[in-house]
Structures are given as structure tokens and as C-alpha cells.
Amino acid sequence: MQVTATINGEKRSFQAEPDEKLADALRRLGLTGVKKGCGEGTCGSCVVLLDGRAVNACLVFVPAIEGRQVVTIEGVGTTDAPHPLQTAFVDAGAVQCGFCTPGMVLSAKALLDREAEPTDEQIRAALDGNLCRCTGYVKVIEAVKAAAARLRAGREVQG
């Protein structure tokens, strides 16, 4: 079947099987920042934003994205101009092996897109379901708080 969606700001059409999972399709399209971990929606390594909401791409069937917006880690910042979340993760030492990082960043981005000054509890809730064996989460929470402050400061300068 033919599926058309906006992926990382670009309208794309591609062939997919009706039972193909979004994580598999995105990786097939070269978006390897979407990691395949558990395949059950419990590890968070495959998180993408679907219409701005963090979802586990291993649980979403490709036909469900028809006409919708998908953002992967490849659509968040660049090497030359990283998103404040990406910079904060590096600065805080929240990036260890990197396997969980894309899902963590996207889950945090979904939170910060709707909440400019999240509490620790809101950050923990947004990251719930993103498993990491390396960081212990403390630095991840610090990174999200730092990114929130940077984003607020940027809005104040613009506004």
C-alpha cells in the first residue's frame, strides 16, 4: 500500500505493508536514529513524535501515519545547529552509550513543546517508559531542566 506522511518536515510517499510497524518503515527509509529495542513499547528506544505526541514507533502500524506529521531524531537539530535539548544532554553528561538518547530527547521535546517550565515530576512522567542502563536518569533530568531554561530564555529574547 502507498502511504503519504510528512516526515521531518518533508512530505514523503512510500510503499508499506498494512501490518508493517513504523519503526521498521522509518529505518528502511534510512532514519536509523529510531532504535529497535524491545518491540513491545516498554523501552522507549523507538520513540518518535506523531503530530507532536511521543509514541513508540514499534507499536504504530504504518497506515496510521497517513496524512500525519512524524518527527524522528534526525528532524531535531543538526550537527551544526543542535536543538537546545541535544546540547543540554551533551553538556550534562546525559549521553552515555547513546542507544536510548533519541527516544529520551524526543520524549523530552514533546514535554517542552507543551510545558515551558516543567517540574521534576512532569519530566519523570514524560520520560517514563524510556529505559536507560547507563545514566541513572539524574543527568537526563538535569539536561531537560537546562534545556527548558535555554528555550525559555530564547523565547524571552524573541518576544
Q: For residue 158, what is its C-alpha cell? A: 524573541
Q: For residue 58, what is its C-alpha cell? A: 514499534
DSSP annotation string for 59-115:
T-BGGGGTT-EEE-GGGS--SSS--HHHHHHHHHT--SSSSSHHHHHHHHHHHHHH-
Tell me what pLDDT residue 159 has: 59
Same domain, 141 and 89: yes
Residue 157 above 80 pLDDT? no
- The domain that holds 128 is classified in CATH as 1.10.150.120
Task: Give me the number of domains the chain comprises.
Answer: 2
CA distance 110 to 46: 14
Domain hosting residue 61, numbered range: 2-75
Measure the CA angle with vertex 147, ends 7 and 44; round to 5°.
50
Domain end point (choices 75, 104, 126) = 75
CA distance between the termini of the chain = 45
| Chain centroid, CA 39 distance in Å | 16
The answer, as to whether pTM is greater than 0.75, is yes
Same domain, 71 and 104: no
Is 30 a domain residue? Answer: yes
Strand partners, 127: none
Domain end point (choices 58, 75, 92) = 75
Instruction: State pLDDT tens for residues 108-132.
Output: 999 999 999 999 999 999 999 999 9
Q: Exposed, middle or buried, 26 (CB in 10 Å: 0-12/13-18/19+)? A: buried
- The domain that holds 58 is classified in CATH as 3.10.20.30
CA distance 140 to 159: 28
**Mean pLDDT across the chain, nearest whole number?**
95
Same domain, 111 and 135: yes
Is 159 a domain residue? Answer: no
Domain end point (choices 75, 93, 128) = 75
Work out the average pLDDT over 81-95.
96
Same domain, 64 and 95: no
